[in-house]
Amino acid sequence: MTKFLETRFQLEEEQTTVRKEILAGITTFVALSYIIAVNGSILSMAGMSYEWVTLSTALTAFIGCMLMAFVGNSPLVVVPGMGDNAFFVFVLVASFGLTWQQALAATLIAGILFLVIANKKVTNFLIEVIPKSMIAAMSGGIGMFIAFLGFKNSGIIIADESTFVRLADLREVIPLTAVLTLVIMVILFLKNVKGNFLIGIISGTLIAVTFGLVDFSGIGQGAVSFSGYSSQLFAFDFSAAKGFNFWIAVFSLTMMIVFQNMGAQLSMLPEKEKFPVSFRINALSVIISAILGTCATTSAAENAAGLAVGGRTGLTSFIAGILFLPAILFVPLFRIIPQSAISPVLIIVGCLMVMNVKDVLWGDFSEAFPAYLMMVIMPLTFNVANGLAFGFIAYPLVKGVMGKSKEVKPLMYVLSALFLIYFILGSG
CA–CA distance, 93 with 46 (Å, rounded to integer): 7
Q: What is the pLDDT of residue 223?
A: 56
CA–CA distance, 87 with 330 (Å, rounded to integer): 27
CA–CA distance, 25 with 119 (Å, rounded to integer): 28
pTM listed for this prediction: 0.72
CA–CA distance, 68 with 30 (Å, rounded to integer): 18
Nearest to 57 by CA among 315, 321, 269, 385: 321
Amino acid at 252: S
Q: pLDDT tens, position by position, for the chain (428 residues)?
A: 677 787 888 888 888 889 999 999 998 998 788 788 778 878 988 999 888 898 999 999 999 999 999 999 999 999 998 778 878 987 789 878 899 999 999 999 999 999 999 987 877 777 778 888 988 898 788 789 878 888 998 999 999 999 999 999 999 999 999 999 999 999 998 987 766 777 888 899 999 999 998 877 656 555 556 667 778 899 999 999 998 778 878 887 887 888 889 888 887 887 778 888 999 999 999 999 999 999 999 998 778 888 888 899 999 999 999 999 988 777 667 667 788 888 888 788 788 889 889 989 999 999 999 999 999 998 898 877 788 889 999 999 999 999 999 999 998 998 899 888 878 766 54
Q: SS3 helix, strand, coil % of the chain, rounded to 5? A: 70, 5, 25
Q: Say if CB 144 and CB 164 are below 8 A apart.
A: no
Q: What is the pLDDT of residue 427?
A: 52
Report the sign of the C-alpha dihedral through residues 349, 351, 357, 359, in that order: negative
Q: What is the pLDDT of residue 252?
A: 75
Report the sign of the C-alpha dihedral through residues 291, 295, 301, 305, in that order: negative
Nearest to 354 by CA among 192, 191, 142: 142
CA–CA distance, 264 with 135 (Å, rounded to integer): 10
CA–CA distance, 41 with 52 (Å, rounded to integer): 11
- The length of the chain is 428
Phi, psi of 426 (to 5 degrees): 75, 30
CA–CA distance, 29 with 27 (Å, rounded to integer): 5
CA–CA distance, 28 with 309 (Å, rounded to integer): 9
